[in-house]
Structure formats: C-alpha cells, structure tokens
Structure 1
Amino acid sequence: MNPTVSAGFFFERLVKVPNWETLTPTAAAHAVQINADPDHYTPYYAPAGAVVAALVGGDSACAASAVGGTAQQLAAALVAKIDAGNITGIAPDHLKEIRWIAAGEVHANCGINLAILQVITIAVSTFGSVGISDINRLCTNQYLGNPDSSHWANGGGHAVDFYSLDRTPTTGADTNAIKLLKTLLPLMPEGSATGQVQCRAQAGTSLELAGVRQFEDTCNHVHVQVDPAFTGSLKAGA
C-alpha cells in the first residue's frame, strides 16, 4: 500500500526485462506484472499522461527538475555535453570556464554563477545542442565599457550568450529563442534580464516577461542574465 515502495519494486523488475525500452507501455507493464490481459493498461495510458503533464506544469517544471546539484556537478555534466559536441563555443573560449569548475579548479575572475550553469543545462536539455559565445568576460578580458554588465560585474559569469540553439543561429527573436525564454521565465530569480528586446519588436514577436527586464542588444544571440549579486539557484518551478 506504499506507492514509493511499490514503484520501486516495479522499476527494479522492469529493468531486468529484455529490451524493455522498446516495448509499448502496456507491454512493459504486462512483462513485469503478468496480467491476465496483456493490453490491460492501454486505456489508462493517455489519461495517466495527462495527469502527469498537469502535475509537472509543462516545460518549465520539467526543466527545473533537471538542474539540481552543485556547481561542480552541473559543470561536469556540461563538460560531457561539450565533449560530445552538443555544446560548442567560439573564440575567445568560454567553455574552459565550465571545464575548470568541473575539475574543481579555481581561477581568479573565471567563475560562473550557479543559476547560469542551470540556464545552460536547461538550454542544452531543451534543444539538444547549443552554441555559447560569452559567459565570464572578466575571465577573457573582454571589457566592453559597461561596468554593470552581468558578464563582467562582481567577478563576472552572471550571464550567458547563446549564438545558436539546436544548431541553428539565433537572433533572439526566432522560434527557438522564444521557446527558451518562455521555458526560463517562471524559473528566473528577481533581478534577471534578457536582451534583444528590439530584435523581437522588429520581428513582430514581442514577448511579455513579467519580472524579467528586457533591453536592447545585438540580434545575433540570446542574452540571459541574473543579478550579479544573486548567489542562489533558479526557482523550483511554477
């Protein structure tokens, strides 16, 4: 009568079923529980999916569930994505900043905000592959004249710029950019911001982001930032 224990028993048996990943849900359940009717669970699959979708709250809640862990753990998972070619960069190299965190190395002015590591994790999980052009500009000595930039302020690393999503260049106003921002919106802490507001206006894809400031930026990337003084995690989900 304990759902946690029952589910645990079910999955322990399921993973021992040959090729269980390729079975239909009802066939997999039947292989574990040996029902009189192999198709017993077929009528319940769609309603169960609807219940789960309603409980998790869509993309943002699913994304939030994927970003737990310490900065080093998140960075290690991202390094695996880098090595697999799912995260790419351009010169100057900002991906080394992720590698250093994963290795437990501390390099002066080369840190990355935990929330930004979470943003990168959500982005690559959402699109399968992303291109990153900027993270900590203080680390790469790219001061561009704005002392308040989250790339630079308070040690740097409080912002990330994506130049491509799903191996497609982004303008900050395209479908992928809008999808990313809508996914992130419910998770971003107070004081967060994103660029390319004029790019979206020009493209007729303006976006209401309550609680997230929007500002003008070049239309060749998506800029996402948190307040340079913020030291926590993204929200757990809406």
Structure 2
Amino acid sequence: MVVTGGGKSSCAAAATASTSGGTVAGYSGDQLVNAAAIMNAGSARGVNVQGQTLAVMTAMGESALRNIDYGDLAGPDSRGLFQQRDTWGTLAQRLNPTVSAGFFFERLVKVPNWETLTPTAAAHAVQINADPDHYTPYYAPAGAVVAALVGGDSACAASAVGGTAQQLAAALVAKIDAGNITGIAPDHLKEIRWIAAGEVHANCGINLAILQVITIAVSTFGSVGISDINRLCTNQYLGNPDSSHWANGGGHAVDFYSLDRTPTTGADTNAIKLLKTLLPLMPEGSATGQVQCRAQAGTSLELAGVRQFEDTCNHVHVQVDPAFTGSLKAGA
C-alpha cells in the first residue's frame, strides 16, 4: 500500500488516543485532552505541526489549557482556551475547544510569513496580547506536549506525503521560499526547484521517497537544514561508489544538518524523533547513519529492517536503496 493524500482523521484519532493518563511538561488530564482538540482542529485545516504547537503554546499562556468560563480585568468578556473576546464568536463557540481553536488557526494562517516569525511573535499577531513576549516560556512545554500526543505517529506523517514528485517538490519550494528549508554550499535546494518546475537536469533527480522524507521532516519540525541530496549533481564524489547520494543517478539520500533550527548530531532528541517517525515508513533496503554517534551519547535505536552505519556526527543521514523507485509505506 502506498502513501495517499488522505489521513487527517487518523492523525486526529492518534492524538486523542494518546491523552489517557500521565503528565507531560506539568500538564495532564483535561489539559492534554484540550491540547489534542487544538491539534486535531489544526490538522483538519491542513495546519502543520509547527502551527499546532503555536496554538497549544498560546492556549497554555492564556488559560493553562483549561476551558475557563471567565475573563480578567483586561478582558472581562474573554472566555475559553484562548481567552477570546466576544468579537471572536458566540459564548458557546468560544467555549468549544475545537471551534475556538479553529478561530485561532483561521487568523494565524493569515499572518504574513507566520512560519518564519518567532513563536511568540506569531501568537501575538493573532492574540494582540499586551506583552508580545508573553508566550515565550510556553513554547518548550508546548513542543513536549505536541510530541507526546503525536508520539512520532507514522500514520500522521504518512498523511502529509501524497502526490507526485513534482507536487511534493512544489510544496517544498514554498517552504524554501518561506525560509523553513535552508541549505548550504553547494546548493542542493536547486534540485528541488528544478523538479517543481518540471525541468529535467541530467544526474540531478531526487528519489520520490526522499522527497517524502523531506516533507515529513519539515512538517514535523517546522524548519530543517539540508546539506546534501544528489551529490552526482554537484560533483561531490567522496570515494564511495555505493553511496545513495551518488549511485544510480544519485538523489536517493538526504542529510539534515538542523532540525527545528537546531544543529543535529544524529543522536539528539530531534534526531531520535525524526528517525522514530520515519523508520516504520521506510522501504526495504533503507539505511541511516550516525549509529556510533548514538552509541557515544548512550542512546540506541532498534530499527528492524533498516541498516545503521557509522557517519559523521554533524547531521542525520537517511537513505533508500538506489534501485528503489516506489513510495514510502503507508502508516500503520
């Protein structure tokens, strides 16, 4: 079964199912249920994990993720998770977690370049809080809650990667132009641009599965840095004729040097999250690097069916077999 473009409902169900029991970053019970409702509302509107995290962060700062039925001195008519005033909607709408979250997302996506703003600036543009830095302390807890509720859910990741290579590349170009995908010299992002434009450049293609991997990574973290894709295109032969960057026309591997604007070692929390999300989706013959980096950090991963090998500890390497021409697997 190949990945399709549907699946938003399966992501929502996964988030809701994860709220039973436990505490995450000091939040529990109905607070986690409300966070899941916010995430589900974002997923239903096609808002990525970055936007969902912003919304959870905002609700933490406004109501501690409690659906409160009172306001404060600054806004006596404020109600609900987001403390929305009566100009936002009816009382019943503002006290409905799904509807109120929908109101937030409707305004968020209209904020110019919201994905490249600092989290608190993006939230402030929607909420117009008296203190534009009010939400800053809540960003890290929101990320922890969102990660726990998604749980590296591969079905959610799979739902984001339907479409042809050109369609995926076009969506990635929009992320590049918004600053959510960055690169270094030599420029590998041009390979994505060429595919999006329908241009064929010799030895500069990218495997469909690798385009899907990049899509999942940027959807998961909001921003990624890419150092290598098709080394045959950029004439970066490093002595290994079997490298998935180089073999069979190249473009069968991707190296991420940063995740969520944070450098990665292949063994850090973001790297582990990425690998746990991707690996159930990877086809037979896939591999990832940095195994010794994880061992040195006291971390290991059981990756059934995915080979692990040693690689430098300044990126996360993900590859498929150079002979593979299909799609990632569908989420379980």
Normalised by the size of structure 1, how large is the TM-score?
A: 0.78
Separation in 2, partners of 1:28, 1:168: 19
2:204 — aligned with what?
110
Cα 1:205/1:39, change in 2 over 3 Å: closer
Q: What is the correspondence of 1:1-238 to structure 2 with a 5 Å cutoff? A: 59-238=153-332
SS in 2 for 1:173: coil
8 Å CA contact retained: 2:116, 2:179: no
Post-superposition Cα deviations, 1:77-118, rounded to whole Å, max 9, x if no partner, equal: 000000000000000000000000000000000000000000
RMSD: 6.8
Separation in 1, partners of 2:275, 2:241: 25
Cα 1:227/1:3, change in 2 over 3 Å: farther
Cα 1:236/1:36, change in 2 over 3 Å: farther
Post-superposition Cα deviations, 1:56-88, rounded to whole Å, max 9, x if no partner, equal: 996211000100000000000000000000000
| Moved >6 Å (runs of 4+) | 1-57
Q: Which moved more, 1:116-125 or 1:19-28?
A: 19-28
Separation in 2, partners of 1:46, 1:12: 23
Normalised by the size of structure 2, how large is the TM-score?
A: 0.56
In structure 2, stretches of 5+ residues that fail to align are 1-94
Separation in 1, partners of 2:225, 2:139: 37
Aligned residues: 238
In structure 1, stretches of 5+ residues that fail to align are none
8 Å CA contact retained: 2:244, 2:251: yes
Separation in 2, partners of 1:20, 1:196: 33
Cα 1:207/1:4, change in 2 over 3 Å: closer
Cα 1:9/1:128, change in 2 over 3 Å: closer
Q: Which moved more, 1:199-208 or 1:29-38?
A: 29-38
Separation in 1, partners of 2:171, 2:147: 26
Cα 1:51/1:167, change in 2 over 3 Å: closer
Q: Which moved more, 1:41-50 or 1:88-97?
A: 41-50
Cα 1:106/1:4, change in 2 over 3 Å: farther
SS in 1 for 2:329: coil
> How far off its partner does 1:206 sit?
1.1
Post-superposition Cα deviations, 1:132-175, rounded to whole Å, max 9, x if no partner, equal: 00000000000000000000000000000000000000000000
SS in 1 for 2:317: strand
Post-superposition Cα deviations, 1:159-213, rounded to whole Å, max 9, x if no partner, equal: 0000000000000000000000000011000000000000000000111111100
SS in 1 for 2:213: helix
Cα 1:221/1:17, change in 2 over 3 Å: closer
Separation in 2, partners of 1:220, 1:42: 28
